[in-house]
């Protein structure tokens, strides 16, 4: 994997706008496409659709094929493709299923034709706006598309209630540079109000700039918002956090020892899916939850 400095906020060579601006544009395009035609107030769907496209982009080398295949698919076939994407993803990383499943209800629902067309229109908007550029290329380390998108989908009131204002990327990178001096493989990172993982991304930039691999570290993140945790899990795949990611949905004021609970919950979940053997069965298992 090529090493370069990250988090400067400057556009990569050949890119028209910097990655964070691109992420904000994507968020607006995706949210607008979802709400056009009276999209229901179900943020998990317009989050889950781009999460599916991002996961697909991480499974194959030629992302152009992913984009072309999804664009040309009928709305119904897009849902079938989405199920396959998660089946393969979960067969490789079953732990991710535990956190991501709040984004995937639409895969199992008996949606009417209008809803399926709306899902496809949202996917098309994400592809048209260049989602895969900021989730599969080196630019993925320079932004948090799902943080921007969750912010765009949440109402102003909800934003105030949970203080869901995520730290701007450049500030997060500056904080990481000051706070994290002793980086070495095996280190743990912990954020007990993790949101979609913006501070993890900043740490990843620093880790990679030192020639280290984020997948050699452990990552602990808690948040009371299950959609934020689901997005953090998708970001974990995009940013290459590796297999030791422990995410916890809950109130850390009530559960101050949440990191132990996160380990225990993950272990229990993995035990339950261990006997299932493949991703399709994991999907069936999620459907039954
Ligand atoms: C200001 S955001 C920070 C997110 C991230 N750390 C960042 O810097 O971008 C605060 C997050 O804390 C979460 N939160 C607020 N109160 C919480 C609580 N009692 N337990 C767990 N999470 C909480 C919110 O849902 C929100 O996602």
Give residue-wise pLDDT tens across range 140-153: 999 999 999 999 99
Q: pLDDT per residue over 174-183, tens digit each?
A: 787 777 777 8
**Ligand 1 closest atom vs CA 225:** 25
What pLDDT is attached to residue 244? 96
For the CA of 223, the nearest atom of ligand 1: 22
Handedness of CA 154, 238, 192, 245 (dihedral sign): positive
Q: How far is the CA of 194 from the centre of ligand 1 (A)?
A: 6
Instruction: Tell me how far the alpha carbon of residue 98 lies from the centroid of ligand 1, in angstroms.
Output: 20
Report the chain's mean pLDDT, rounded to a whole number.
Answer: 86
% of the chain exceeding 90 in pLDDT: 65
Kindly report, residue by residue over 274-289, the tens digit of the pLDDT: 777 665 667 776 776 6
Asked if pLDDT for residue 5 goes beyond 60, the answer is no
> What band does 215 get if pLDDT is binned at 50, 70 and 90?
very high
Q: Which residues have CB under 6 Å of ligand 1? A: 162-167, 191, 193-195, 198-199, 222-225, 228, 251-253
Report the alpha-carbon distance of residue 25 to residue 135 in Å, rounded. Answer: 14
Record the tokens describing residue 112, joined without a space: 């009417």
Question: Using CA positions, which residue lies closest to atom 6 of ligand 1?
Answer: 194
For atom 16 of ligand 1, which residue has the closest CA? 162
Half-sphere exposure of 194 (CA within 13 A, CB side): 35
Nearest to 118, CA basis, from 145, 78, 86:
78
Q: Which residue has the higher pLDDT, 218 or 17?
A: 218
How far is the centre of ligand 1, averaged over its atoms, from the C-alpha of 205 (Å)? 21
Could you tell which of 170, 195, 235, 256 is best to mutate to test the pocket of ligand 1, judged by most ligand atoms within 8 Å of the CB? Answer: 195
pLDDT digits (tens, 9 = 90+) for 50-59: 999 999 999 9
Please check whether residue 215 is in contact with residue 242, taking contact to mean a CB–CB distance below 8 angstroms: yes
Confidence of residue 268 (pLDDT cuts 50, 70, 90): very high
Measured CA to CA, the distance from residue 137 to residue 141 in angstroms comes to 8
Q: Per-residue confidence at 8, pLDDT binned at 50, 70, 90?
A: very low
For residues 255 and 171, which has the higher predicted lDDT (pLDDT)? 255
Nearest ligand 1 atom to the CA of 197 is 5
Closest CA to 27 of 147, 148, 196: 148
Centre of ligand 1 from the C-alpha of residue 251, in Å: 10
pLDDT at 103 over 90: yes
């Amino acid at each position: 994997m090529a090493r370069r400095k990250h988090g400067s906020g400057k556009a990569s060579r050949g890119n028209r706008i910097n990655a964070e601006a691109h992420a904000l544009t994507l968020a607006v395009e995706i949210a607008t496409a979802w709400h056009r035609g009276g999209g229901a107030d179900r943020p998990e769907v317009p989050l889950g659709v781009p999460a599916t496209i991002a996961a697909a982009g991480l499974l194959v080398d030629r992302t152009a094929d992913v984009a072309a295949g999804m664009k040309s698919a009928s709305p119904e076939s897009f849902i079938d493709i989405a199920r396959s994407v998660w089946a393969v993803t979960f067969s490789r990383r079953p732990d991710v299923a535990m956190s991501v499943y709040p984004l995937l209800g639409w895969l199992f629902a008996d949606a009417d034709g209008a809803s399926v067309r709306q899902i496809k229109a949202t996917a098309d908007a994400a592809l048209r706006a260049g989602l895969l550029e900021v989730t599969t290329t080196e630019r993925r380390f320079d932004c948090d598309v799902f943080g921007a998108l969750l912010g765009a989908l949440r109402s102003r009131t909800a934003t105030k209630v949970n203080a869901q204002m995520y730290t701007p990327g450049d500030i997060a990178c500056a904080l990481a540079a000051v706070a994290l001096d002793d980086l070495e493989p095996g280190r743990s990172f912990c954020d007990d109000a993790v949101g979609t993982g913006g501070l993890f991304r900043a740490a990843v930039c620093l880790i990679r700039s030192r020639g280290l691999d984020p997948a050699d570290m452990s990552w602990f993140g808690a948040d009371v918002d299950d959609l934020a945790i689901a997005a953090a899990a998708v970001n974990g795949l995009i940013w290459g956090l590796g297999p030791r990611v422990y995410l916890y949905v809950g109130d850390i004021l009530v559960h101050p020892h949440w990191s132990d609970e996160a380990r225990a919950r993950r272990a229990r979940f993995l035990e339950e899916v261990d006997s299932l053997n493949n991703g399709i069965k994991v999907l069936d298992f999620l459907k039954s939850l």
